[in-house]
Amino acid sequence: MGGDTPNIYPGLYYRDAPAAIEWLTKAFGFEKVMVVPGENGTVAHAELRYGPGIIMLGSAGNQPGSKSPLDVDGATCGIYIYVDDAELPAHYQRAKAAGASIYRELERKDYGGSSYSAHDPESHEWSFGSYVPGDPENA
């Protein structure tokens, strides 16, 4: 694997995966890599890219135990995505304009960088920031 090749690929489930794909591209700037249609308007598998990072998603219920946060009354994890500090304010404004539910406003952090956090329409937790986890320069 090369230096820009991700080695972690989060997988998410949505009640309305086709709508989620459209929303994630509009609000957060993801790019569609692959969308495999399922039965009855569902999504069997999709891959979306943000920079070198990739997320996978599909329709809730397509696999045993696959649920949206709406099905469990809350998110069970959150995803953090690095965004260059110079691009972060515009990213925040784009998400807000698309209707993202911001639950932590864009702000500088004591431990380095800036970030904000939002929920998507199905309550998945997303954080975007300029802090690079694991970077020795953050210590």
- Selection from 88, 135, 87, 89 nearest residue 111 by Cα: 135
**CA quadruple 27, 31, 33, 38: dihedral, nearest 10:** 20
Band the pLDDT of 50: cuts 50, 70, 90: very high
- d(CA 15, CA 70) in angstroms, rounded, equals 8
- Selection from 135, 99, 134 nearest residue 119 by Cα: 99
Say which DSSP state 1 is in. Answer: -
Band the pLDDT of 2: cuts 50, 70, 90: low
pLDDT at 60 over 60: yes
Correct CATH for 11-138 of 3.90.730.10, 3.30.365.10, 3.10.180.10, 3.90.79.10: 3.10.180.10
State whether residue 77 is helix, strand or coil. Answer: coil
Q: What percentage of the chain exceeds 90 in pLDDT?
A: 76
Reported as a single tens digit per residue, the pLDDT across 84-120 is 999 999 999 999 999 999 999 999 988 889 999 999 9
- d(CA 16, CA 119) in angstroms, rounded, equals 15
What is the DSSP pairing of strand 78-82 with strand 125-129? Answer: parallel
- d(CA 139, CA 35) in angstroms, rounded, equals 40
